[in-house]
Structure 1
Amino acid sequence: MKLCAIAVACANRCDDGGSKLPSFSHFIYFLFAPTLLYRDEYPRTKRIRWDVVVSHFLEVTAIIFYNSFLWERFILPYWSDYGKEPKVEAGTVVRGMFACVLPGVISFLCGFYCILHAWHNAFAEMLRFGDRLFYEDWWTTSRFSRYFRAWNLIVHSWLRDHIYHPLAPYTSRAVSTLIVFLVSAVAHEVVLALSFGFFYPVLMIEFGGFGLLMLPLTASSGSRYPNVFNLLMWLSFFIGNGLLWSLYSMEYFARKNCPPSETDNFFVPKSWSCPEVVLKPNWTFQNPFDIIY
């Protein structure tokens, strides 16, 4: 994305003819600066506060260790044996998914703080980068359009300037928005696929499908009933992150524990065929108020 931004800047200046191209020092600074929009000059602070830099990097380290604890405590006990047995009860899968809801949201919030606050502010302080507005108060919003804009202002600004605005004169706003969502969803999915070693587009379906659907549904209703739709948005975060933690873990351990077969490949999910999810016969429900003394 940074290479695209500086390539666009160079192309525009080559078209002008008389404009000076960015120097190599400008490129190096832009490469490490917490922004995706190239400028020859940025607002700069007067000095580097190294105590602030150290504190932010300590926060990053602490969050990495805490996420490791969440993995050891909530992922491995429920999913590390997934695929070792040929069959698994549906109730076991459902319990594992519910167990991942709360740690999934905690990991989601920790990841947000780690990258969009601690990491960016650390590099901004070291480079004396003056613009520290990396996000806005997305947690109070009741409209998904507002959430997608406020969640990550750095990426939002790049998508707006390099995709939405160039397409807007030739297409409608709805088509431009759809293309922006598709590009963002595909980019996220490519990163996950290369990291995990398999293609399993759960995140793409959640944010590129459900998230896109919620844009028009919360456009007017979110402004009319802000408290209700803010609650619904947080419920979607809980459910969505629980599914992400569960489904990606199921696929990862299914590929690791299930015996290899001829149909195994990068794109076909292994967890759909191994293990077999079965319903437990004669399910019974226990009354929680039926207390035996």
Structure 2
Amino acid sequence: MIRLLLILFNLQVRFLMKVHSFVRNKATEADPALKFSNFLYFLFAPTLIYRDHYPRTKTTNWKFVARCFLQCLSVLFIFTVVIMNSYPTPEQWCQKFTPNDILLIVMEKLPYGILVVTGIFFLIFHSVQNLFAEILRFGDRLFYQDWWNAYSFSIWLSKWNKIVQDWLYYYVYRDFREFVCDNGALAKLVVFVVSFGVHEWIMYSWIGGFFPVMFVIFMGVVFPLTFCEFPKWTIFNILVWFCGVFFINLGLLLCAFEHYALLNAPLENPALWELVCPRFITCDCVLR
């Protein structure tokens, strides 16, 4: 049920972003004539930027389609094995923890976090996007760039997901600077707020409650670091890798704590402060 909700929320967000792109593009055209076939193609194409025409390949390579599909199944199988054998069971989530225990769990699961992060990237941004692109003969395959070579957080975030990055640039960053305020730093802040606000909306479908841990981590730590320019040294590339995986792993594990706390100790007639305060702390899963 949780997996189904996550899929539905992701599809909902994707559809809303596509509709905004379509309306934004057609509203500024002198001749907003629309062929329904173009709009229908756009709904399934691996892009969030609407165009009447896209570069197309001549044929569909069905062997490549089959390979991408097998890659998706392989990654999902690996995820199942890793999560079932390396992460705590639902019963273990509700035992008593100290803050040191939580930090120890995060550090112990860091190698698995690397596998999860790279697996999510490979599944969503490589296999799935190339699968749909090949079936639809979509020619523009720049879904990501070499984020693994990034030596700063700004480069890592801009290269990790080019599909969403392009949408944020065209319809949030550029529009904000053109129509609201021509300030690059402020526009960048708005991009982060919109991006991670949507991430929290999706996470809400998994957790079942308000728990903006990813928003706090990325707005409080990662966002200030995007203004820092580091030398192109290997040590900074390793640091970006470690911090990125650590923060994502920390966020996912804390979300799991909150999810099982709400599941095993649900609130009855909660006050406003109880809705905002993390449940895994107030239900005494964490020893003070």
TM-score after normalising by structure 2: 0.86
After TM superposition, the structure 1 = structure 2 runs for residues 193-212 of structure 1, keeping only pairs within 5 Å, are: 193-212=204-223
| Paired position in structure 2 for 1:4 | 20
> 1:269: which partner in 2?
278
Q: CA deviation at 1:276?
A: 4.7
- Are 2:256 and 1:249 aligned? yes
Alignment match of 1:107 (pick from 113, 116, 130): 116
Single out whichever of 27-36 and 145-154 deviates more from structure 2. Answer: 145-154
1:50 pairs, out of 62, 87, 91, with 62
Q: How far does the alpha carbon of each residue in 1:23-43 deviate from its partner, in whole angstroms, 9 at most, with x for none?
A: 110000000000111111111
* Pairing 1:227–2:243 present: no
- Residue by residue, what CA displacement relative to the aligned partner does 1:39-60 show, whole Å, maximum 9, x if unpaired? 1111110100111111111111
Instruction: Report if aligned partners of 1:138, 1:146 keep a CA contact under 8 Å in 2.
Output: yes
Cα shift at 1:109: 0.6
- Residue 100 of structure 1, CA deviation: 2.0
Shift of 1:91: 4.7
For the residues of structure 1 that align with 2:114 and 2:141, how far apart are their CA atoms?
Answer: 25
Structure 1 runs, 4 residues or longer, greater than 6 Å off: none
By how many angstroms is 1:177 displaced? 0.7
Listed as ranges, the matches of 1:151-190 within 5 Å are 151-169=160-178, 170-190=181-201
Corresponding position of 2:144: 135
Report the Cα distance in structure 2 between the residues aligned to 1:97 and 1:55, rounded to whole angstroms. 34
CA shift for structure 1 position 209: 2.5
1:123 to 105, 124, 132: 132
Aligned mates of 1:43, 1:58 — CA distance in 2: 26
CA-to-aligned-CA distance 1:123-142 (integer Å, 9 cap, x gap): 00000000111000011011
Match of 2:103 among 83, 90, 94: 94
The secondary structure found in structure 2 opposite 1:21 is coil
Q: CA deviation at 1:74?
A: 2.0
Which of the numbers 28, 34, 39 marks the counterpart of 1:27?
39
Equivalent residues in 2 for 1:9-20 (5 A)? 9-13=25-29, 16=30, 19-20=31-32
Q: Hey, what's the Cα distance between the residues in 2 that align with 1:23 and 1:246?
A: 46
Q: Is the 8 A contact 2:261 2:285 kept in 1?
A: no
CA RMSD in angstroms comes to 2.0
Q: Is the 8 A contact 2:154 2:226 kept in 1?
A: yes
Distance 2:99 2:125 in 1: 37
Aligned partners of 1:234, 1:109: CA distance in 2, in Å? 11
In 1, Cα distance between equivalents of 2:285 and 2:252: 20
Q: How many residues of Structure 1 are paired with residues of Structure 2 in the alignment?
A: 268
C-alpha separation in 2, matches of 1:60 and 1:180: 30
What is the alpha-carbon distance in structure 2 between the residues aligned to residue 148 and residue 158 of structure 1? 14
Give how far 1:21 is off.
1.5
Instruction: Supply the AA of the counterpart residue of 1:166.
Output: D
- Does the CA-based 8 Å contact 2:207-2:258 persist in structure 1? no
Q: Distance in 2 between matches of 1:92 and 1:226?
A: 34
Moved more, 33-42 or 194-203: 194-203
CA distance, structure 2, for counterparts of residue 7 and residue 94 of structure 1: 46
The answer for unaligned runs of 5 or more in structure 2 is: 1-16
Alpha-carbon distance in 1 for matches of 2:75, 2:39 = 31
Deviation at 1:275, TM superposition (A): 2.4
Q: Secondary structure at the match of 1:124?
A: helix
Structure 2 counterpart of 1:102, which letter?
P
In the TM superposition, residue 96 of structure 1 has moved relative to its aligned partner by: 2.1
Structure 1 letter corresponding to 2:234: N
